[in-house]
Amino acid sequence: MSEEEGGGRSVPRSRMARAGQFGRLAGGLAGGMLAEGARRLGQGERPKVRDLLLTPGNLNRVADRLAHLRGAAMKLGQMISLDAGDFLPTELTDILARLRSNAYHMPPPQLQKVLAAEWGADWRRRFGRFQAHPIAAASIGQVHRAETLDGRVLAIKVQYPGVAESIDSDVDNVATLLRVSGLIPAELDLSPLLAEAKAQLARESDYRRESREMHRFGELLAGDPDFVVPALDEEFSTSRVLAMTFLESRPIESLDEAPQERRNQVMERLVGLVLRELFEFGVMQTDPNFANYRIMDDGRLALLDFGAAQPVAGVVQQGYARLLRSALEGDTAAIKQGAVAAGFLGAVAAERHPQALDRMVAIVLAELHRPGAFDFGDRAFLQVLREEGMTIAADKASWHLPPAELLFVQRKISGTALLAARMKAQVDVRVLLRRYLPAEPVGSKW
């Protein structure tokens, strides 16, 4: 059986090897464009370059190559997919949706080499059992189940080789790919966001740091009847290997067919947790990948993967508090002012498109203030919002990139909303906002 047939593909380790993968991807895309162009011209069509690029074959090439590379290349795609939710072009959504679940694992020889470097050549003698095939494979590492000689059952997260060293070049290459595709406007300056993405991915690849964040969340949620956080196993943890207690659990997606009441309950807990992270803890796990939430047999929610945990800046807390309080009060003018002050909206857009913004705010307020629970499964209003937003998006003078520190928090909020939509959950958001919004402005004076 080949590596690919077994679901395993060696991770390209050196920068040169990874750059070569992007070069082959570019060549494959060009070849696909030529073939599709010839086909359409033969049918008497005059296709646009964008239509030739975004064919099913080319989309599959992009998704497969990024999944092969893993690391920052794949992680950046996942981040974009959860940041933008329903507001991405359909073609890009198709690519990135695959990256949320597709990852190859390391073949056994490469895994052996990585663990020998971290634990020593005779590392297997330290375990009663080590499951060679991973139980999960993601963008930065893969997870194995193991049992120590004294009976401790552990989840061992092993980082792919070379991903930490290739973060900067991977991010630059993905950004170039998206630019060339025409899916991101050339006029939009992405450099601040790309710089922060590189810094965030570097933090996520530091497993020592992640172990500290996992411990922090364990303390914050100690005694909470709704959540459980794994405990660090220091004996087997290094900067590239993270060992923790194995939590017997099942994917949160297993609740898709659960009774409505149960789905509502789970999402109420998760929405409440986001608000607690934002306003109470002052630190947030900003990666809302669905795989980071699992269901324990006793009904508790297991929280996994704290590599993306980071402090929430006071100015971000203040901005959200102001916006949410204005939304509860139904104050359109205050919402628009708060959106500009927080950085969600550029001042130019607010000045040039006041009517469109008024209509968008009215749509959001109408949904928020409907009687009863908010139905996350009913997303028809998002299409209306998107249509209104296209007026602003068409005006290049109004383009605006929010601060990176704001985008990472919004990434968690957007991803949580996507999970709630998948579950078709109904949650009384107003009750939760009134429960967790601080009575006074957070941090310094607004």
> Which DSSP string do the residues of 299-367 spell out, in sequence order?
SPEEE---TTEEEPPHHHHHHHHHHHHHHHHT-HHHHHHHHHHHTSS-HHHHHH-HHHHHHHHHHHHHH
Q: In CATH, what number does 107-159+206-246 get?
A: 3.30.200.20
pLDDT over threshold 70, residue 90: no
Active site residues: 287
CB 3 within 8 A of CB 110: no
Predicted local distance difference test score (pLDDT) of residue 403? 84
Please indicate whether residue 274 or residue 190 has the higher confidence score (pLDDT).
274
pLDDT of residue 156: 97
The whole-angstrom separation of Cα 411 and Cα 208 is 24
Q: Are 74 and 49 in contact (CB under 8 A)?
A: no
pLDDT band of 385, cuts 50, 70, 90: confident
Instruction: Indicate the average pLDDT of the chain.
Output: 79
* CA dist., res. 204 & res. 88, Å (int): 25
Residue 429 has pLDDT above 80, yes or no: yes
352-371: pLDDT as tens digits = 999 999 999 999 999 999 99
pLDDT band (50, 70, 90) for residue 197:
confident
Question: 252 with 413: CB under 8 angstroms?
Answer: no
Q: Percent of the chain beyond pLDDT 90?
A: 50
Q: What are phi and psi of 144, to 5 degrees?
A: -120, 150
Q: Which of 51-55, 283-287, 347-351 has the lowest mean pLDDT?
A: 51-55
Task: Indicate whether 37 pLDDT > 80.
Answer: no
At residue 154, the 3 state secondary structure works out as strand
Over the stretch 238-258, which tens digit does the pLDDT of each residue have?
Answer: 999 999 999 999 999 999 999
Q: Which residues are CB-neighbours of 43 under 8 A, at least 6 positions away?
A: none
CA distances from 132 to 1, 70, 143 (A): 16, 19, 10
Position with higher pLDDT, 361 vs 98: 361
Q: What is the pLDDT at residue 446?
A: 38
Helices 314-329 and 354-368 cross at an angle (nearest 10°) of 80
Give the H or E element holding residue 284. strand 283-285
**pLDDT value for 215:** 97
24 vs 408 pLDDT, higher one: 408
Predicted confidence at residue 140, as pLDDT, reads 80
Predicted confidence at residue 443, as pLDDT, reads 46
Question: Residue 114 is which amino acid?
Answer: V
Residue 95 reports pLDDT greater than 80: no
Q: Measured between alpha carbons, how far is 159 from 210 in angstroms, rounded to an integer? A: 12
Cα 208 to Cα 216, 237, 397: the distances in Å are: 13, 8, 44
For the segment 160-178, the average pLDDT, to the nearest whole number, is: 76
Q: Tokens standing for 398?
A: 């109004």
What is the C-alpha separation between 381 and 363, in angstroms, rounded? 7
Domain ranges of the chain: 15-103+167-184, 107-159+206-246, 251-446
Compute the C-alpha angle 381/293/70, nearest 5°.
90
Q: Considering the entire predicted model, what is its pTM?
A: 0.79
Report residue 201's pLDDT band, with 50, 70 and 90 as the boundaries.
confident
Residue 182 confidence (pLDDT): 57
Mean per-residue pLDDT, 210-230: 97
Question: Hey, which bits of 111-201 come out as E strands?
Answer: 127-130, 136-137, 141-148, 153-159
- Residue-wise pLDDT tens digits, 310-344: 999 999 999 999 999 999 999 999 999 999 999 88
Structure-block tokens of residue 413: 């909020």
Is residue 32 predicted with pLDDT exceeding 50? no
